[in-house]
């Protein structure tokens, strides 16, 4: 997790670092800090616990002058050591000449720390990161005047993951960065250079970026003929190309909304429309997916698909499994990415592995991708970030085109993931056995989904009233069947993530196999009850909960007359076919979780203990 920013140029260093860091705060917000080399060529470090706003007043008093030209900054999601000022980044060497910000985990830090203590190094924190800055200091003593060489030699001794930014008062005209398993990009501006964990940090300043690969070292400096130099760990030069970001600054602002999460929930009609645009070919009842990089013959030869993901993306993957098996009649496995590479997965000829990650940087999903590649699988990446590591390392893929998602709890990325998986399922099916008329019918219904999501959002105030009613409860159950079981899982996860309310999602029929013991007058149960082939089964489950005095909230798409006597509240959603119903039904669950959290006075954009992009195992 964590966010890193580095800047070198003629702008107000402190202001630019804080501004950029603020846009990375969703990556971690336990504490924050920055290190700037001032006009006297001294390293000044400021840190504070809590949000970045806690740093501002103190920093601006100390850095009024615009003549400072270089600095690094960090916002933390704690892994090693508690949330304290001492454990906040950047960390410094013994002489306060070298500062380092780090995202990742140094696995062999204990051994290295003992060796460094024997050499006389004194440590100020409990973190694994501080070991790295002292290690660089030790090498730098021998190779004075070459910070990048010291970084390279230090990293050769390190085991683990890292994205780092390093500055040194002896070389106040450069920032050295490196990555291995943690994302890092370079932004190229006019007479200024940036280093950051992702593109959101630098979008107001430049759209020209260079993506850094694993085990690469970069050196950036402003106003030099050679502003950017990239090396591998053998100190060989690596050539890089410049990419252009296609997002704009407005996409990462709240606009008229009180939070990013609410904005992103309400953006779903547009984001789903964007995911469909240019991909639906109604006249052929088929789909155009140019990024798959597979011939039609190769697609027809697929004999099994394995989907792997984490969290919300895993829930989307379950729906993807159901869609592909129903439409394309190909067997699909769904795996937690965090478990995939540890269970010796069986990959055979004709197997395709689909990896899903909003950020394209999720550590567990990336490692699952690499394990599947080692075993010879064709990889399809489904991600929202062009240029992300998963996008670059996949053989082909589908971009979500959801636009930046800043809220930690994923909303619009989930619905776009399901839509993308539906497109993939129809595409494969049409190349196999699905007739034209069926493909056309499915695609017409899929095109109608954005308007139906908008209809749900028009009733947000009614959902808010229900949320207020249940804001003080401590436990929830979410139940669904078939395609809506994963929607129940996702609804429960949203409530847990942002409201800190214990919630569980189950297939409704499984309630009788244990969870029914929990039901009493204090247990709200959310039923996803569309009028499909399983509706009567759901009604039976509703009656069972009612008989035990549970409080029932029903999400349904038809007349609720036959369940009115059993339910406390219901949320009416538009009708669609069973296969696409989770895309609509999840939206009121997002709103329910959102309004419960707001009623409790919680920060939905930055829920405790969570970060947006999980880039460490």
* Catalytic positions, written as ranges: 2, 612
Among 567, 559, 496, CA closest to 526: 567
Secondary structure letter of residue 177 according to DSSP = E
Could you tell me the two tokens for 19?
């501004």
Query: Is there a contact between 271 and 401 (Cβ–Cβ < 8 Å)?
Result: yes
Contacts of 278 (CB under 8 A, 6+ apart): 288
Q: State how far Cα 85 lies from the chain centre.
A: 27
Element (DSSP H or E) covering residue 165 = strand 160-168
Contacts of 229 (CB under 8 A, 6+ apart): 148, 218, 219, 237
Q: Distance (Å, rounded) from C-alpha 321 to C-alpha 309?
A: 12
Query: Is there a contact between 35 and 90 (Cβ–Cβ < 8 Å)?
Result: yes
Residue 157 phi, psi dihedral angles, 5° rounding: -95, -5
Query: Is there a contact between 368 and 395 (Cβ–Cβ < 8 Å)?
Result: no
Q: Distance (Å, rounded) from C-alpha 503 to C-alpha 487?
A: 13
Exposed/middle/buried for 551, CB within 10 Å: 0-12, 13-18, 19+?
buried
Q: Distance (Å, rounded) from C-alpha 158 to C-alpha 161?
A: 9
Contacts of 68 (CB under 8 A, 6+ apart): 13, 14, 36, 37, 38, 39
Q: Beta-strand (E) ranges in 370-419?
A: 378-383, 396-399
Could you tell me the two tokens for 292?
């798959």
Among 588, 201, 609, 142, CA closest to 404: 201
Exposed/middle/buried for 480, CB within 10 Å: 0-12, 13-18, 19+?
buried
Q: Distance (Å, rounded) from C-alpha 463 to C-alpha 416?
A: 22
CB atoms within 10 A of CB 270: 15
3-state secondary structure of 505: strand
- Exposure string of 121-159, with b = 16+ CB inside 10 Å and e = fewer, is bebebebbbbbbbbbbbbbbeeeeebbbbbbbbbbebbe
CA distances from 93 to 88, 122, 180, 372 (A): 14, 9, 22, 40
CA distances from 371 to 1, 73, 110, 182, 394 (A): 22, 33, 28, 17, 12
């Amino acid at each position: 997790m964590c966010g890193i920013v580095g800047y070198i140029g003629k702008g107000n260093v402190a202001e630019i670092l804080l501004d950029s860091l603020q846009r990375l705060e969703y990556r971690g917000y336990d504490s924050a800090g920055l290190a700037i080399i001032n006009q006297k060529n001294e390293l000044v470090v400021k840190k504070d616990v809590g949000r970045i706003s806690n740093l501002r007043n103190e920093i601006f008093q100390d850095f009024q002058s615009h003549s400072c030209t270089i600095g690094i900054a960090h916002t933390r999601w704690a892994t090693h050591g508690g949330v304290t000022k001492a454990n906040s980044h950047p960390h410094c060497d013994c002489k306060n000449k070298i500062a380092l910000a780090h995202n990742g985990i140094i696995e062999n830090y204990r051994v290295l720390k003992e060796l460094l203590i024997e050499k006389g190094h004194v440590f100020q924190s409990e973190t694994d990161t501080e070991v790295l800055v002292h290690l660089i200091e030790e090498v730098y003593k021998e190779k004075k005047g070459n910070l990048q060489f010291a970084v390279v030699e230090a990293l050769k001794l390190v085991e683990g993951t890292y994205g780092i930014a390093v500055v040194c008062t002896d070389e106040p005209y450069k920032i050295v960065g490196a990555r291995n398993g943690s994302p890092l990009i370079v932004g190229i501006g006019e007479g200024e250079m940036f280093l950051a964990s992702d593109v959101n940090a630098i979008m107001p300043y430049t759209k020209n970026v260079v993506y850094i690969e694993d085990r690469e070292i970069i050196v950036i400096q402003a106003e030099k003929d050679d502003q950017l130099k990239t090396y591998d760990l053998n100190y060989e030069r690596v050539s890089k190309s410049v990419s252009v970001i296609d997002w704009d600054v407005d996409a990462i602002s709240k606009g008229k909304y009180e939070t990013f999460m609410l904005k992103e929930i309400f953006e779903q009609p547009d984001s789903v429309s964007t995911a469909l645009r240019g991909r639906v070919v109604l006249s052929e009842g088929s789909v155009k997916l140019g990024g798959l990089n597979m011939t039609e013959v190769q697609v027809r030869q697929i004999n099994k698909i394995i989907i792997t993901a984490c969290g919300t993306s895993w829930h989307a993957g379950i729906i993807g499994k159901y869609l592909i098996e129903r439409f394309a009649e190909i067997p699909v496995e769904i795996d937690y990415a965090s478990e995939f590479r540890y269970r010796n997965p069986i990959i055979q000829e004709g197997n395709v592995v689909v990896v899903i990650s909003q950020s394209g940087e999720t550590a567990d999903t990336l490692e699952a991708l690499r394990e599947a590649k080692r075993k010879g699988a064709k990889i399809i990446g489904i991600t929202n970030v062009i240029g992300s590591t998963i996008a670059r390392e996949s053989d082909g893929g589908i971009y979500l085109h959801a636009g930046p998602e800043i809220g930690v709890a994923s909303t619009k990325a989930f619905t776009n993931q399901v839509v993308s998986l539906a497109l993939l399922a129809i595409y494969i099916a049409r190349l196999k056995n699905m007739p034209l008329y069926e493909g056309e019918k499915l695609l017409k219904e899929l095109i109608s989904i954005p308007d139906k999501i908008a209809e749900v959002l028009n009733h947000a105030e009614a959902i808010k009233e229900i949320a207020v009613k249940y804001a003080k409860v401590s436990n929830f159950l979410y139940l669904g069947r078939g395609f809506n079981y994963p929607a129940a899982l996702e609804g429960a996860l949203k409530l847990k993530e942002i409201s800190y309310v214990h919630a569980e999602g189950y297939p409704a029929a499984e309630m009788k196999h244990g969870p029914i013991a929990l039901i009493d007058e204090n247990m709200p149960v959310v039923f996803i009850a569309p009028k499909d082939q399983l509706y009567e089964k759901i009604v039976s489950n509703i009656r069972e909960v009612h008989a035990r005095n549970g409080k029932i909230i029903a999400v349904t798409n038809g007349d609720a007359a036959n369940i009115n006597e059993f339910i406390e509240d219901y949320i009416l959603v538009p009708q669609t076919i069973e296969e696409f119903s989770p895309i609509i039904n999840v939206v009121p669950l997002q709103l329910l979780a959102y309004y419960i959290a707001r009623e409790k006075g919680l920060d939905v954009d930055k829920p405790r203990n969570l970060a947006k992009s999980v880039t460490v195992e």
